[in-house]
Amino acid sequence: MKTTITTIILSLLLIAASNALTNPKATTEIRDNTIESLIIGLNSENLGLRSSSAYMVGELQLSEAVIPLLRILHNEENEELRIAAALALYKIGSPIAINAVKQAIRFDDSKRVSKLCANFYSDYLKNKFNDEEINVDVSKTALK
């Protein structure tokens, strides 16, 4: 049963991704069932499905998925999945999402996750201010 559901969700993800690449209009219209499938994928027990769903949510910038991504970033034991969630939150770019990435710099137990969150946050600041000469030491900024 789990395998069937996982296969169906992965198929939906692949169809959504291929449609977005081949049809430019598809990128502006994201159907409710796609959003629902991705959120179900984020809450799955399957690590690969969760990671793939986090990636697609970030690519599609689905603000509806911020809460499940926050849950992954704060509670997941797997570093790679926390990194995928942080990257998706960075790509979504809402104030809540960016603040979660900033807080992960200080509070995540993994140095690797903290370092990558610092990179995401630094890139966000550079893009926000559109100034390539800004060299932000995010680790010091986030600690304040």
**CATH assignment at residue 31:** 1.25.10.10
pLDDT digits (tens, 9 = 90+) for 1-13: 777 777 777 666 6
- Give the pair of three-digit tokens for residue 80: 């790679």
Higher pLDDT, 52 or 136: 52
**pLDDT-based confidence at residue 131 (cuts at 50, 70, 90):** low
Q: Give, in order, the Cα–Cα distances in Å from 14 to each of 17, 22, 35, 103.
A: 5, 12, 13, 32
Classify the phi-psi angles of 93: left when phi > 0, otherwise alpha if psi is within -120 to 50, otherwise beta: left
Per-residue confidence (pLDDT) for residue 128, from 0 to 100: 86
Hey, what amino acid is at 102? K
Instruction: Please state, rounded to an integer, the average pLDDT across all residues of the chain.
Output: 85
Query: How many domains does the chain fold into?
Result: 1
> For the chain, what percent of residues have pLDDT higher than 90?
65
- Give the pair of three-digit tokens for residue 127: 């893009």
Mean local confidence (pLDDT), 42-49: 95
**pLDDT-based confidence at residue 36 (cuts at 50, 70, 90):** very high
Residue 90 near residue 119 (C-beta atoms within 8 A): no
Residue 136 predicted with pLDDT over 70: no
Helix axes 111-129, 79-92, angle to 10 degrees: 10
Residue 101 predicted with pLDDT over 90: yes
Domain residues for the domain of 106 are: 2-142
